[in-house]
Amino acid sequence: MTQSKADGSPGQYFAHALRSACGNCGRSMDKAHRIHHGVKYCSNCYPAVFPPRTCQICGETARAHKHATSSVCGKCARQDRTCLRCGRLTPQAALRVGDRVACASCAPYYRTSRPCDTCGTPSARLSRSRGFPERGQMCERCLRKVTQATCSHCHKHRTQYFMTLAGCHLCSKCCELDGPSHDCPDCGSRVQGTGFSPCFSCSIKRGNVKRQQSVQHMLVTQQAKQLYADFTQWGNSSQRASKLAAHASRYLQFITRIDIALQQASVPLDQAVLLETFTTQELRQMGLLMQFLVEQGAFLQDAAARRQNSDEALVQSKLKGATGKPWAADLQAFDTALAQRQKPLNVRSRKSYLSAAIALLTAAKVGRATQLKQEAVDALLRSKPGLRASLTPYLSHLASRHGMRLKVPGKRTAPRQSLLPQARYARLLMDAIAGKPPRPTELSLTATLLAHLLNVPLTQILQLRHQDVDWATGLQMRLKDRWMEVPQEVGAFVRALQSPEHLGGSDFNPWVFPGRLISDCLSTSAVSYHLRKYEIPTNRKQARH
């Protein structure tokens, strides 16, 4: 990145600014959370400098500067935003120039010229090619050289689509022309040209099998060899051959580690071997291999159990990292007190409480917990206000154990909000579901609607199983061993969640909202993805203002 992007000159890329200081607190930051009138603000100062208000146009939540006289949300501001050069509506800005924006066509007129990474010629129209990432940002001339060529059939200068064995370029139009063809020897589909070559998809499948056979000698145990062979056959037969080929080296690394673990344990491949060999993060990175293991019954642990194991590992890592610190005994005593609570504490809360305690002891730079002062608590919450709730249990522990009177500063009571935005949010979701979207999107919208109406976390809705719903009426569901009434207006939406397989009595997937793996329900990330496609707020709190 050049210096022109780091200073405050017009046409800078705000989202890729170099490390700079927050204009409010002065702390160094890698990336500004928001830039307002040329001033950069960090994520900690953003909630205080831009408090939530009601948009004057739509009534939703707006984040306006605390000294601003009017408040308009980002969605309404983008609807009426125009390009500073051509005046056309620009809901999606290609470049910011001060407080104005430029469209994609006019943005090059305001960008600072920089040298092309290939030829060195200064240009304001630099871009990258996905096919040639190593060439960096290229000017239009260099980009045409590597991506376009003269078609050997129509003799037009077009984007390269195919190259023959003789080195002749063909454009996409000419590749679609009728000519000599033959049947694919594997699937029977028509293939351009003469000979006996397979089609493109079958050639990928052949490559997967050849790759698997060529590395069989690297594996020692018969279980690992059979696993790789079955995995390759499963990928080719389930329309996943391209993904299998794209990440073949990664899958081979995982299978090699499984092979080593089987040699050491001398036991059949099961869930215990996988949990002992791989971390939760590595299990997620397995991708198709994990999906295959789940379908084969070698791994049955669901996402909630894997998350709990990951949190437990993080807790042990934090306790181990505190070893040698002067306050390590105080932290261990706090962890023991959490474990001895009458009401069992989940691992995620335990991890949050320990993290807050470590942050306080580290920031205060004290030898023992008894040396903590109220000033240290206030300073920590000023820099990290998100620790307010997690820090309270540790302060209560210090009060009961050492009689210390440390407290979390009180929060200002928020004014009572209108219920109208919440009703609008529910109506927005219901209208989107009534529009008959694709099945994955319909599931995400319905889950969000139920979480909003029942005022429960989205994760509880996503973990619903078929036996937790009264399918006859669709007006009752069981959440945490407690049956809850569903509004009659959404009963039809709930009944539509029942899969045809479960209705016929042959569904082996227990989830109402099935995920990518049989053992997992739909993830919150997948729900957020589908809501963003419909431009629906993913945070339910946004509908409360």
217, 227, 214: which is closest to 254 by C-alpha?
A: 227
Q: Please, which pLDDT band fits residue 3 given cuts at 50, 70 and 90?
A: very low
Q: Which two tokens stand for residue 15?
A: 């989202």
Q: pLDDT tens across 419-456, in order?
A: 777 888 888 888 888 888 888 889 999 999 999 888 88
How far is the C-alpha of 330 from the C-alpha of 326, rounded, in Å? 9
| DSSP 8-state symbol, 38 | T
230, 184, 232: which is closest to 208 by C-alpha?
A: 232
Higher-pLDDT residue of 162 and 46 is 46
Lowest-pLDDT range of 90-99, 191-200, 427-436, 446-455? 191-200
Q: What pLDDT sits at residue 11?
A: 39
Burial class (CB in 10 A: 0-12, 13-18, 19+), 39: middle
User: Angle at CA 131, nearest 5°, toward 19 and 167?
Assistant: 155
197: left (phi over 0), alpha (psi -120 to 50) or beta: beta
Higher-pLDDT residue of 297 and 329 is 329
Query: What are the respective helix, strand and coil percentages of the chain, to the nearest 5?
Result: 50, 10, 40
Lowest-pLDDT range of 5-9, 213-217, 534-538? 5-9
Lowest-pLDDT range of 102-106, 278-282, 442-446? 278-282
Q: Please, which pLDDT band fits residue 13 given cuts at 50, 70 and 90?
A: very low
Q: What pLDDT sits at residue 302?
A: 63
pLDDT of 233 higher than 90: yes
Q: What pLDDT sits at residue 267?
A: 83
Q: Which amino acid is at 61?
A: T
Q: Chain-wide mean pLDDT for the chain? A: 83
pLDDT of 544 higher than 70: no
Q: What pLDDT sits at residue 191?
A: 78
pLDDT of 14 higher than 50: no
pLDDT of 93 higher than 60: yes
How far is the C-alpha of 135 from the C-alpha of 340, rounded, in Å? 60
Higher-pLDDT residue of 280 and 304 is 280
Q: Which two tokens stand for residue 128?
A: 């990258």
* Arithmetic mean of pLDDT, 329-333: 88
| DSSP 8-state symbol, 44 | T
Q: How far does CA 264 lie from the centroid of its chain? A: 36
CB–CB of 521/462 below 8 Å? yes
Q: What pLDDT sits at residue 210?
A: 93
Q: Which amino acid is at 279?
A: T
Distant-in-sequence, close-in-space partners of 147: CB < 8 Å, separation ≥ 6: 129, 131, 132, 159, 160
Q: CB atoms < 10 A from the CB of 544, how many?
A: 15
* Arithmetic mean of pLDDT, 42-49: 89
How far is the C-alpha of 234 from the C-alpha of 152, rounded, in Å? 40
pLDDT of 489 higher than 60: yes
Q: CB atoms < 10 A from the CB of 513, how many?
A: 21
How far is the C-alpha of 193 from the C-alpha of 222, rounded, in Å? 42
pTM attached to this predicted model? 0.49
Distant-in-sequence, close-in-space partners of 352: CB < 8 Å, separation ≥ 6: 390
Please state, for a pLDDT cut of 70, what percent of the chain lies above it. 90
Q: What pLDDT sits at residue 209?
A: 94
Lowest-pLDDT range of 165-174, 430-439, 535-544? 535-544
Q: What pLDDT sits at residue 178?
A: 57
Q: Please, which pLDDT band fits residue 12 given cuts at 50, 70 and 90?
A: very low
Q: What pLDDT sits at residue 5?
A: 37
The DSSP secondary structure of 500-528, one letter per residue, reads HHHHTT-----BSSB-SSTT-B--HHHHH
pLDDT of 543 higher than 60: no
How many residues does this entry show for the chain?
A: 545
